[in-house]
Amino acid sequence: MITKFEPVINSLKQLIFEWEPKLLNFSQEIITERRNSQNRNIKQIVGHMIDSASNNIHRIVHLQYCENPLIFPNYATHGNNNRWIAIQNYENEDWSNMVHLWKYLHLHIAHVMSNVDPSKLKNEWLHNNKDGISLKKMVIDFLRHFQLHIDEITDLIKKN
């Protein structure tokens, strides 16, 4: 394992195991009716986190064998992440299935991160067809993005 990634991976796993039971115990009202500033409810936020993990797994893998810089679609550009949420109809997905998928995709991305080839850390993904982000930065930043959405969920829980 790349030592620099250990804190990211350990923190990610800690959050996953801390939040799985919380998510499973939320009422239907909490997960569907409360909305954040992007008009997303908790089911949609968790769905977005699933999409993010899935897309980042693909990026991390592609960055280790494809031509550098990597040209790979950015699912989040121009509001497309909202399209992903709508097309997959997370609103009507079974909540328990979603939470388990969320858990296992994030455990898998932690596993993928722990197996990154150190010689590939400078490889870049052109996330908007001109600006690159290195594999190293992408892995390190994943935890920030994950925590951002956990914080959104926390804020929605506190709403009355």
| Structure-token pair, residue 96 | 């328990």
List Cβ neighbours of 23 (8 Å cut-off, separation of 6 or more): 42, 46, 99, 102, 153
Q: Compute the average pLDDT of residues 11-15.
A: 98
Per-residue pLDDT, 16? 98
Q: What is the CATH number of the domain that holds 54?
A: 1.20.120.450
Per-residue pLDDT, 138? 96
pLDDT tens-place string over residues 23-70: 999 999 999 999 999 999 999 999 999 999 999 999 999 999 999 999
Domain range holding 154?
3-158
Say how many residues make up the chain. Answer: 160
Per-residue pLDDT, 160? 65
Amino acid at 58: H
> Could you tell me if 90 and 39 are in contact, meaning their C-beta atoms sit under 8 angstroms apart?
no
Per-residue pLDDT, 155? 95
pTM of the model: 0.95
Domains: count for the chain: 1
93-126: burial string, b at 16+ Cβ within 10 Å, e else = eebeebbebbbebbbebbebbeebeeeebebbbe
Nearest to 4 by CA among 141, 151, 105, 127: 141
| pLDDT exceeds 90 at position 5 | yes
